[in-house]
A and B are shown apart, each in its own frame.
Chain A
Amino acid sequence: MGELKLPEIDYGALLPMLILFGAACVGILIEAALPKERRHAIQLSLALLSTVAALVAVILARDIRTITIGGAVAVDGPTLFLQGALLLLGLVSLLLIGERSLEAGGAFVSQAAITVGSQKDLRQAGSQPGGPEVYPLTLFALGGMLLFVAANDLLTMFVALEVLSLPLYLMCALARRRRLLSQEAALKYFLLGSYASAFFLFGVALIYGFAGGVQLSQVHDAVVTPERSQVLLYAGLALVAIGLLFKAALAPFHVWTPDVYQGAPTPITALMAACTKVAAFGALLRILYVSFEGVRWDFQPVLGGIAVLTMLVGAVLAVTQTDMKRLLAYSSIANAGYLLVGVLALNRDGLASTMFYLVAYGFSVLAAFGIVTLVRDADGEATHLSRWAGLGRKSPLFAGLFTFILLAFAGIPLTSGFTSKFAVFGAAIEGGQTWLVIFGVITSMLLAFPYLRVVVMMWLSEPGESTPSVSIPGALTSAALTIGVVATLALGVVPAPLIDLTNDAAQFVR
């Protein structure tokens, strides 16, 4: 029996995560200790402040390149960049989550699991202010995401996956309106998510059997050693990949996305569309680039097929949608396909461009869902497409902003959508994946149609009886919208600083 050796811990590198988890725990204590009416403001401030503090910690740690806490966490360029991106996007999501002026009591109810339609449920959906538990939950989810993109061994990655997923499952069920849809979404997400987690864990076990360790560098060393069992390797890689592809909403593991995006409270949908995507792709990048780079010729065609399938499914099904949130869900699926094209470049440009794309898309999608929260009538948000007809006449400002975001999604130049597509496609051609780019271009054409249809609806149709009014956003939503739109424009017009940042950050430590 040797001595038990304590691992070295670099607290500076871990500080962002520690801040978020600490603030989340404090948030729970506040729930227990403070009177109900004062909690909301305090919780919201705590969440925003801790996110900002974590962001500052990331910025302070920007030069750290280390593997710490016994090899469990790698803090390197991609980690810090993605953590910064997650915190920024999380901050904007928190602004949307914290908005209470659009609806009495906010977009959330306080208890998720009450039978829908029961007196108690009607009461809580009717007038009771929503529970502020949603803020600590968001912080836990964000903390999990930060750990997910930093995890340097597969078990830590699994723990992070669960930490980020469980709060999201719960928050999906908290929608104030259309409670049944919300609970259904949560249950679906939970069940399918659990399967995905199980797949992931099983894959980790197989890879452990293959490599004799779970650290990514150990796996890498085993992969480049020829005489190991290939069956364990491929089966393990496939299962781990399935777990990640599920979180990233890539076909054929995407089926939960439209239902969950539609049923979840819109601010949470925004959080998932922006941040979960960053986290899932961050982990996918790390696993593929750090551990399995040695078998790239084996997984590249398979994942390439998945990318093509995802782009096609997302684009084709987006054409047929009649609900705004589902439309944006399918669009996010297609965008996951474009991201995977960037990942599959498997070169430094691929890493840099994927990170650029994640940030650019995150801001645009937050702004898009932010506008969805504003278009409402007496029954809450009016998400059916036909209801958006003539919105340009009723509210030119918001229709104009939404049009701009849609043009960004369609990849028109001078928006971030164009620069990010250019970046990933350029990296993919560089990486020899021209066929993926061709499919990317074809699906972009298909995808332009649903976006354009919405633009036509808003501007060229006459407003009908049922065109809902657009609520005047409160300060928080206004801020979130402004940040999202300005970022979309800025990353389209002056993308150079962020491109340079991603290029500098695009180096994993092993």
Chain B
Amino acid sequence: MSNFPFLSILTLLPLVGALVVAFIPSRKSQLAKIVALGWSLAVLVLSIVMWIAFEIGGDRFQFRESYPWIPSWDVRFTFAADGIALVMLVLIALLVPLVILASWHDAEQTKRSVPTYFALLLALECTMIGVFAAADVFLFYVFFEVMLVPMYFIIGSYGGARRQYAAVKFFLYSLVGGLFMLAAVIGLWVVGGRTFDWQTLVNADLDTTTARWLFLGFFIAFAIKAPFFPFHTWLPDAGGAAPAGAAALLVGVMDKVGTFGILRYCLPMFPEASRWFAPTALALAVIGIIYAALLAVGQNDLKRLVSYTSIAHFGFIGIGIFAFTTQAGTGSVLYMVNHGLATGLLFLVVGMFVARRGSALVSDFGGAGKLVPVLAGVLFFAGLASLALPGTAPFVSEFLVLIGTFTVHKTYAVVATLGIILAAAYVLWMVQRTTQGTLNPALTEVPAMQRDISLREKVVVAPLIALLILFGFYPKPITDVINPAVQATMQDVGTTDPAPTAVANGRTAP
């Protein structure tokens, strides 16, 4: 079974779907939606089969495939997945059908082609899968850059009020990062012996100064993508202007490419440079946690607010990565998954509110819970999951990150803990202002606000809620998969854990 070319098929399948959907004429938009949904479900099924086929405790990289592409540069279509990539791939495959279902009527409001919107979503899925599945640095870079194009058109064509500005800002920021990485990729290729093979490059013996420069090239690209403070300013604009479904993918998956890239490329390939840069990265991450949380408290726009909360969460992922302990590393990867689920849910629910009200401003709501009690309840749950309430999945990861960091960097861990308090503030205050309190009379005049959650929307939120609760109590299925990969990464960096960890014994829930 493991000889089956899972990864290349998983990458190509959505692309074929995108082409099929793109050629469905605009007047048959219902057909386009159904095809897109069916296609993304097929991808989901394939990814679940792949998860089952993944041998826990087997090789670090599985499902390896390699085909020649540009022989004279030693570029190959090499795909391989470790545990970290595997969970991200399944997360993508899970989120895309939900996003398609949640965006069922979004594209119609923009007077633009409906099939194109769903084709772009599938094209985006192809590039996102490719970027996590690639095990050739060149191939990774190709997906990393091409990923921008569908997202650019989704934001620019189907987004909200400031979509043009947001789309251009998003594209330019990412392109700037990408070009720094391009310089580093070329440099790595030259000094690493003219190869792009990940394993060869990890084993290459690089000069310290060169490695540090190359590390910075990669790190800037990933820090912009993630985004880490101070490279974050594009995200609130992009997240605020993107249609809610696309924003869920943007924050839930695409931005994880940044943190994934640091784990997969920066740390193993430039271990010395990573240790050299770790204090700075930790400081940036902690500043990001506090700063973005403070800004989130002050937001009046729901989508921008959720974007800022994400920046704060990426700070947690950042300290977990750069603490260099298995516990914190596992926590970070788990955080990447849980954040995808929680923030994805939050964005989708916010999108449902915004679609009803026709406005994303908190001040345009007020007491909405009286009109749409179930939807308000889902928003409350998504908020609680997002602030890492015990019993929801993000709690496990946030806790792991913090204790894993505490064992080596007490100050950073203590300061980061303040972020939890701020998280409670921005989430609860947002929920209170939108759904609790006296009913805003303007809401009663909006006919759409009288409709509570529909069946379609229930289907969207139910799996996410179920998974958030399941992984809150029983994260073992995920930790079993990611733990060996994280341990191998920490070995590559050359750090040892200060004490035996609970994770290593399989007891993760505290």
Contact = CB atoms under 8 A, between A and B. Distances in A.
Interface of A: 407, 410-414, 418-419, 421-422, 425-426, 429-430, 434, 437-438, 441-442, 444-445, 448-449, 452-453, 456, 459-461, 495-496, 499-500, 503
B183 A414 contact: no
B171 interface: yes
A184 B289 CA distance: 60
A503 B72 contact: yes
B279 interface: no
Contacts of A437: 183, 186-187
B164 interface: yes
A426 B179 contact: no
Given A422-B186, A425-B186, A414 B72 contact: no
Contacts of B146: 412-414
A445 B142 contact: no
B180 A430 contact: no
B175 to A, nearest CB: 5
Contact of B72 (A425, A448, A496): A496
B294 interface: no
Contacts of B186: 422, 425-426, 429, 437
A431 to B, nearest CB: 10
Contacts of B168: 452-453, 456
Nearest to B72: A499
Contacts, number: 79
Given A426-B189, A460-B157, A441 B70 contact: no
Nearest to B156: A460
Q: Which of A413, A425, A444, A453 has the most CB of B within 10 A?
A: A413
Contacts of B172: 445, 448-449, 452
A441 B156 contact: no
B175 A410 contact: yes
A413 B142 contact: yes
Which 5 pairs, one residue from A and one from B, show the smallest C-beta to C-beta distance? A413-B142, A441-B183, A429-B190, A460-B156, A460-B164
B333 interface: no
B175 A448 contact: yes
B122 to A, nearest CB: 17
A503 B141 CA distance: 24
B23 interface: no
B167 A495 contact: no
Nearest to A496: B70
A496 B71 contact: yes
Interface of B: 69-73, 141-142, 145-146, 148-149, 153, 156-157, 163-164, 167-168, 171-172, 175-176, 179-180, 182-183, 186-187, 189-190
Contacts of A429: 186-187, 190
A23 B156 CA distance: 51
A19 B139 CA distance: 44
B167 A460 contact: yes
B149 A452 contact: no
A251 to B, nearest CB: 21
A413 B179 contact: no
Which of the listed residues B157, B163, B179 has the most CB atoms from chain A within 10 Å of its own CB? B179
Contact of A445 (B70, B72, B148, B175): B175
Nearest to B210: A434
Given A426-B189, A449-B172, A500 B72 contact: yes
Given A426-B189, A499-B70, A456 B164 contact: yes
Given A407-B149, A412-B145, A459-B157, A426 B175 contact: no
Nearest to A443: B179
B481 to A, nearest CB: 30
A499 B73 CA distance: 9
B70 A459 contact: no
Contacts of B163: 460
Contacts of A456: 156, 164, 167-168
A453 B172 CA distance: 11
B72 A459 contact: no
A195 B488 CA distance: 65
Contacts of A449: 172
Contact of B69 (A411, A434, A452, A496): A496
